[in-house]
Amino acid sequence: MISSLQRLLIIAFLLLTLIYDIKNVHAEFFFYETLDEKYQRFKEKRIIVDNEIEFIEEKLDELNLLIKRIPSTKYYKVLHEQSKLLQKQNDLSEEHFRLTLKLNKLAEGKLNLIYRTYIAKEYEEGEYEEKFAKAKEYLKKTQLFNEWKMSEGVWNNDEIIKSYLIFIVSCRALGSLLHSDIAAVLRKEFDWKKKDFIWTKYAVSSIDIKLVKNIKELLITGPDNLKKELYNTIKNAVVRGDSSLRNIPMVCRTFEEVHNIVFPNKRKNIINSMLFYIREWFNKK
């Protein structure tokens, strides 16, 4: 028979083994980056590179002005400094390109994860495929949208429908610009109307807040939030008189109909959502 002391030692040994295993699991968890963490890390790197490129561009502008005013004795010194900055600018541009390729690949992985999670959580078996086919048929018949696709060289309809959540979040942010200081110009010069974007308020509220956050992270390229970044982009386009701004309301109206077609049957899918969360809970155990 096992004595009380032996039993105590066995229990202590088992506890130590368990603690050791848990520590190893945590060590592995912290060692391997998640997809979100890796995406954020590369994104921060690119922001740093972009800031350095911007700084060098400012320095080069200063040197170009200086070259016109300096005496000939200092000319070659300034020229040498300019050459070094140009080489640095070239190196940083290559780094920016490399980081962008990596970010695009990670973004594709994040988008696929968002897409799979949304379908698994919100749709009954076969429901999404049926609605996907209807939305695809609708897009085929939408002439203005197809003309826009041709002019912009955007994805095929399959990829567009898979990414329709991104269009919803984008249209929501774009619609908010009708409350900004460029609203009057957008209305008068580019025919933006509130009715083309109002639907996005309810569409976004129907999407899981975590998914919306992940989508916004994919859309942001710099340190600003989505609204500010889009504001700067659209304002620059307004200043240039970019005629493509006229297409934005049409694209968002098209995705209102895509949303109406693809939107899951919420009443039927309460049980499906519960099963999704139960599976998620067990996977984390």
- Digit-coded pLDDT (tens) for 180-201: 999 999 999 999 999 999 999 9
Q: Is the pLDDT at 67 greater than 80, yes or no?
A: no
Q: Which phi and psi (to 5°) does residue 169 adopt? A: -65, -40
**Residue 260, pLDDT score:** 92
- 177 vs 184: CA distance, rounded Å: 10
For the chain, where do the domains classified as CATH 1.10.287 start and end?
33-122
* Per-residue pLDDT, 25: 38
126-174 pLDDT tens trace: 899 999 999 999 988 888 887 877 777 766 788 888 888 888 999 999 9
What pLDDT score does 13 carry? 42
Band (pLDDT 50/70/90 cuts) for residue 259 is very high
For the chain, the 3-state helix, strand and coil shares in percent, each to the nearest 5, are 85, 0, 15
pLDDT at position 266 over 70: no
Tell me: the pLDDT tens digits for 16-60? 443 344 344 333 333 346 877 887 888 888 889 888 988 988 888
Candidates 3.40.50, 1.10.287, 1.10.10, 2.60.40; CATH matching 33-122: 1.10.287
Q: Which pLDDT does position 199 carry in this prediction?
A: 93
Band (256; pLDDT cuts 50, 70, 90)? very high
The model's pTM? 0.66
Alpha helix (H) residue ranges in 143-246: 143-152, 157-162, 164-175, 183-190, 199-205, 209-219, 226-240
Count the residues in the chain: 285
Q: Which residue shows structure tokens 């970019």?
A: 242
CA atoms of 224 and 217, how far apart (whole Å) = 11
Beta strands (DSSP E) in the chain are: none
Place of tokens 């229990």: 11
* pLDDT the model gives residue 96: 87
Indicate left, alpha or beta for 264 from its phi (over 0: left) and psi (-120 to 50: alpha).
beta
Q: Are 135 and 262 in contact (CB under 8 A)?
A: yes
Structure tokens at 154: 């955007």
Task: Please report which confidence band the pLDDT of residue 75 belongs to, taking 50, 70 and 90 as the band edges.
Answer: confident
pLDDT more than 70, % of the chain: 80
Residue 255 contacts residue 145 (beta carbons within 8 Å)? no
Q: What band does 214 get if pLDDT is binned at 50, 70 and 90?
A: confident
Mean pLDDT over each residue of the chain, to the nearest integer? 78
